Amino acid sequence: MKITLAWLIPIAYALQYQPFDKSQLDKSSFYEPFDYNSLRASPWKISNAKKFDEGRNEVVKYTGQWAIEAPILERISGLDNDKGLVLKSKSSYYAISYKLPHEINNLNGKDLVLQYEVKLQAGSQKPCGGEYVKLLKPTSSDYSFFSSETPYEIMFGPDKCGSENKIHLIIRKKTPDGQIQDHHLKHPPMSRLDQLTNLYTLLLRKDNTFEIRVNGKVAKAGNLTDSKLFDPPFETPKIIADPNDKMPEDWDFRPTIPDPHDVKPDDWDERVSIDGKPNANYKGKWFPSDIPNPNYKGIWKPKQIPNPNYYAIANPGQIDGIGGIGFELWSIDSDVLFDNIYLGNSVKEAELIGNQTFLVKHEVEIEQRRENKEKVKNEPLAPPKNFDDIITDDSIPTYKQLFIFIKLFLLRQYLGMKDFYFELLLNPISTVLNHPVKLLFYGVTFLFSFTMIFGIGSVLLFLVQSGPPEQEEIEIKQGEQEEEHEEKIEEVGNDTTGEIEQEIKHRIVVDRDQEDEEGDKNDE
């Protein structure tokens, strides 16, 4: 597909949906943009049929629900009001079809082009389900009972479940004996598994070449008549092995045989042990030597005969008529969206639709995904800053930079010592001879660390063992201190009482002397 950016100029990154102008297409072409208000208002019909489930070994209904709606994924919504056909149920069988207003074919030297969009909105890490489309054979009915048994011409589209991831291409043809044969592309390309819209295109050219394109790029190409590309091929072998031919009973296909004249030597000892002890002369079982087989006739092959059932489909890519389009699917995931289905005879029309619809939408979705990145579960932590980043970071204080530096230095030395230790265990002699300085440094460091730890531990152990004084000693000391305190109080009391008595006596004597002096003065 020729993808150009010219169409993006007027509506680049415009979120509003712009309907495609169908007048640019030929009247014989079919284009479905799903511009309906609802599924009921559209010509698409949900199947009322049932199917046989081989896994369950029972008949089941197509219970999967359908809807016509805009994308529900807000993070990658694409264009506003751009509706599509959506699977709404989980783990269900789906069947829906559209009866074309007229049959479409690629007779009279025309190409056939099928193109449509798929968007996996659920975003499952392990999607499981099909998103392929079937081009149905014409019928007089309206495909109300469309099922896995409904005849179709081509099945094309992605299918992913478990380890299987491929884009189906199956072309149905009738053999000369009237049987319907499904011709599968042997090595199909892989589908795209993301939440963006992806465009799938099938091109069957009039010269029997084909192309499968994904998002406008060729993913697989070849010629339908190449017997190596399809299984079974569209042309059976002209010469086959005679199924009735059998190998003669006297046919000898052995290139060598044992020498019938070879004789085992007399000293050849085949006994493993003698009297329960190993046999030192044991040589193993003897076999005669091989010689060329004189009756060798080579590898037998059945004779080749013309294939009585030979047939060749001259134009395997020629489709006589397509009467409808249908999705008959099984899907575990829901919210799978289909949009912009094109079926016609012009590669240019398909490219025009892709440029004006898919390309614009895809670019918008890429930009939306870039701006609205989904939060990663269990997102890994950012790596720690190295020392250069820490030194140049002005937001970190100097003392903290020093602390971090010491921490990183010690961690580096610890890791180096740890590596050296394991290397020493694996190859001690070589390690000592190749790294004597490291051995000396780590040895001194270990002894110093051990001595420091042992010394600190001894001090702590001594303090713990000595412990606080016993309770009895504390009580005795307290009693002695109380007695000493009482004696001191008594001594202080006695001394104080004597001093007071002397002071009183002294005052009495002084008072008497004063009274005598006053009496003498009165007598005079």
Q: What is the pLDDT of residues 17-58, one digit of tens each?
A: 889 999 999 999 999 999 999 999 999 999 999 998 877 788
Q: Looking at residue 176, what is its pLDDT?
A: 87
User: Which of 332-336, 343-347, 416-420, 517-521: highest mean pLDDT?
Assistant: 343-347
226, 208 in Cβ contact below 8 A?
Answer: no
pLDDT(6) > 50: no
Q: How confident is residue 14, by pLDDT bands cut at 50, 70 and 90? A: very low
Residue of 225, 227, 181 whose CA lies nearest to 205: 225
CB atoms within 10 A of CB 302: 13
Beta bridge partners, 181, equal 173
Distance CA 316, CA 112 (A): 12
Cα separation, 470 vs 399, in Å, equals 46
Residues 68-116 have pLDDT tens digits of 999 988 778 888 889 999 999 999 999 999 999 999 999 999 999 999 9
Calculate the CA 204 to chain-centre distance. Answer: 35
What are the beta bridge partners of residue 97? Answer: 45, 326
pLDDT given at position 379 = 67
3-state secondary structure 63-91: CCCEEEECCCCCCCCCCECCCEEEECCCC
Non-local (6+) Cβ contacts of 169 within 8 A are: 154, 155, 156, 184, 185, 188, 202, 210, 212, 220
Local structure of 316: helix, strand or coil = coil
So what's the pLDDT on residue 11?
46
Report d(CA 417, CA 420) in Å as an integer.
5
CA distance 195 to 408: 44
**Percent of the chain topping pLDDT 70:** 83
The model's pLDDT over 189-225, given as tens digits with 9 standing for 90+, comes to: 999 988 899 999 999 999 999 999 999 999 999 999 9
Across residues 385-411, what is the average pLDDT?
Answer: 76
Neighbouring-strand partners of residue 324: 99, 136
**Residue carrying structure tokens 């004779």:** 303
Q: What is the pLDDT of residue 397?
A: 82
Q: Give tens-digit pLDDT for 216-273.
A: 999 999 999 999 999 999 999 999 999 999 999 999 999 999 999 999 999 999 999 9
Q: In angstroms, how far is the first alpha carbon of the chain from the final one?
A: 161
Instruction: Report H helices in 289-397.
Output: 347-353, 359-371, 387-392
Following DSSP, what letter does each residue of 115-157 receive, concatenated? EEEEEE-S--SS--EE--EEEEPP-SS-STT--TTS-EEEEEE
Q: What are phi and psi of 303, to 5 degrees?
A: -70, 155
Instruction: Describe the crossing of helices 398-426 and 436-466 by its angle, rounded to 10 degrees.
Output: 110
CA distance 285 to 269: 8
Q: Are 151 and 136 in contact (CB under 8 A)?
A: yes
Tell me the average pLDDT across 138-157: 94
- On the question of pLDDT at 286 being above 70, the answer is yes
Closest-CA residue to 28 (of 104, 98, 97): 104
H or E element in which residue 401 lies = helix 398-426
| Cα–Cα distance, 127 to 124 (Å, whole number) | 5
